[in-house]
Chain A
Amino acid sequence: MKFVEDNPNRITSAEIVVGIPSLNEADLISFPTQQADRGLVKHYPGKTAVIVNVDNNSPDNTHHVFMETRTETPKIYISTEEGVTGKGNNLKNLFEKALELEAKAVVVIDADLKSISPMWIRNLAEPLFDGYDFVAPLYIRHKYDFTVTNSIAYPLTRALYGRRVRQPIGGDVAFSGAVTRSFVESNIWNEAIAHFGIDAWMTTNAVKTHGSIIQSFMGRPKVHKNRDIDSQVGLIFEDVVGTIFELMLHYDSFWKDVRWSRPTAVFGFGLGDIEVPPPVDVDTHALWNKFVSGVRGKWDVYSAALERENLNKLEEVMDIPAMGFEFPTGLWAKLVYDFAVAYKGASLDRTELIRGLIPLHYGKTLSFVIETEAMNNQQVEEFIEDQCLQFEKTKPYLLDRWG
């Protein structure tokens, strides 16, 4: 797929590759590039390294800004052809380039990161030199940041594959040369994976194929472009959920045998004071409206996808007033499992089906916001753990319906 490559230093091999996927990040890409460079110079002076910007031919000239950023580490720019977008497409180019460079460690960081420090490079790469194959990030995040992770991506992937990876779509990850090769050789690919489904795809493939996974504590909260709940959902929900459902089709012989879940080890302690993540604005009134109007508008999807008993329970939830609203997690898990089964059945258009889950996600998010309003981060984590356990306890329902 590779289209344009700018490799002024003619780099042909590198032990460490830091990849930065982008689309129109000219304003922000210099900072993570500089931090990656400092991390490589400070922590890996004896290893060959390169920083690769894998871009979607950004019209804002991300290419120029990246290549003009001063670094000691050599840089390569690679772009998809004009008109081809998607984070997944960018990372596919990165996987192929890293394999060509015979990289032992590949680190991926987001181009809009504002809180990355050189230590992130060390914390992501170091476990790979200690025998681990895949490193997922562990950040302190605001309780309302990335609701897609808390309400569906984490509990669902954990219940399916049995490994507790707290940020399965975290974005900043690292993997070994062996995992890079398995990514290149995978034949599971679609439009959702080619866009924002790629993070769920990488984590799931790593969990399913390679046992040695670790989470690395980044120390600082992930601060990137400001996005409220609505814009985050609009940006990633369909791709992430579509990818998880798609992978369920391919890996059912694996996940059907998984029972409960195991923890994933953590790397990177003693990083000083833990910083407080920036707040995320929540408009509960807007969440309520999106839930109620969305569910009413998509009732035909629910009638076709949900079991009768769950449809009745959803009607009950619709009757609960906004003040004191609650969306039981046991019901939420069953609805998600019903949607996965409907995705498999393919009697409904799959894109429309996944869009039908979005209003329910808004309802679950509203419930989460109300229930966790007075909780600190630790209490919220325990609350989320309990939700995950309910997904695990409800899994026999999925197994029964999946067939």
Chain B
Amino acid sequence: MRLRSTSRYGATRLSTVSLAALCVVALSACGARVDAGSDTSASAESCVDTSGDTVKIGFLNSLSGTMAISEQTVHDSLELAAQEINADGGVLGKELEIVSEDGQSEPTVFAEKAGKLITSDCVAAVFGGWTSASRKAMLPVFEAQDSLLFYPVQYEGLESSPNIFYTGATTNQQIVPALDYLVEQGTKSLFLVGSDYVFPRTANKIINAYAEAHDIEIVGEEYAPLGHTDFSTIVNKVKSADADAVFNTLNGDSNVAFFKEYKNVGMSADDMPVVSVSIAEEEVGGIGIENVEGQLTAWNYYQTVDSPANTAFVEAFKAEYGEDRPTSDPMEAAYTSLYLWKAMVEKAESFAVEDVTAAADGVTFDAPEGEVVVNGDNHHIAKTALIGKIGADGLIHTEWSSEEPIEPDPYLEGYDWADGLS
């Protein structure tokens, strides 16, 4: 029945092909005319409307896909900050109108939705992103459209876009202090375990350079694909390497499997402590307190930070989302980012991107982690490094802290041993 006689269609053949050819010819003509236009490359005109009594801002987090479990917490925290700001009279007297988009844990979707928020919704600034891939995907969009992104997660450094403000830690505010701490504790050898993507690879490059300059032996370096859950081989290697400590840059689910296996082979924080840079309060519950108790983490904020601003933040968050919800570093950095944008806008007395960035330098906010200051040159913020120990209560308690907030140095220019890294 599917077989048809060819003759019936014979006459159509020529006309179809010629129609297609016609289209191509017509379009190549279009393309040629464009040539002249491309010289006068139109720089993006902002369509942000601030004439009414509201101003739009965008939240772009992964609400579906593998990153949703982490990014939802950041989204909640941003919502909380927006509610508080609106209850307090808005920004420059204008109420914030939130446009939320789902990044779907995919870089391509992040790029698309960023474009939508900027050019279709005309938001004054966008808050969000988590993975390095999502940030790298959004960066050219924000630069081409000359719009603003506030990125709230610790990352691998080596970047400073004029259109992004980084409110999470760069490497010299998290990884380097963690290494300083280990040296202080007399660590002579390290085993590196990480997921196979940009952040762990870059972090380990930095750790290797640091180790070489500080007489630390790197006894092993292992990578597992993202989402990998069979860690028996890697943990056995760690065990037999017998290093003084393990530096863990695993991300997501892999941590659950890694720490369970670590406990299975009979190792604990006393034998060989694991310093993690991607495990926050939110993840501790998922891994199981009994599997990670006593292990170390490096961040710039813990729920247990003792300050009036943090007490207020934690109380407000729990009141909004439930007593069982912990607060974590990326959530705090996201919360802080919205307030920092508010402070910049109010200092500039304008929502325009160039005015806001011009006013950014030196803007401060009494954040839950302590007072933070924006560095106008590299768009990062000064942050205090905190090494914490995971307690039996599932919270992380500060074990060591840098004496004062550390100035951001994304390219590690102030460190001799880091020459040639960037």
- Are A and B bound to each other? no
Residues of B within 8 A of A (CB): none
Residues of A within 8 A of B (CB): none
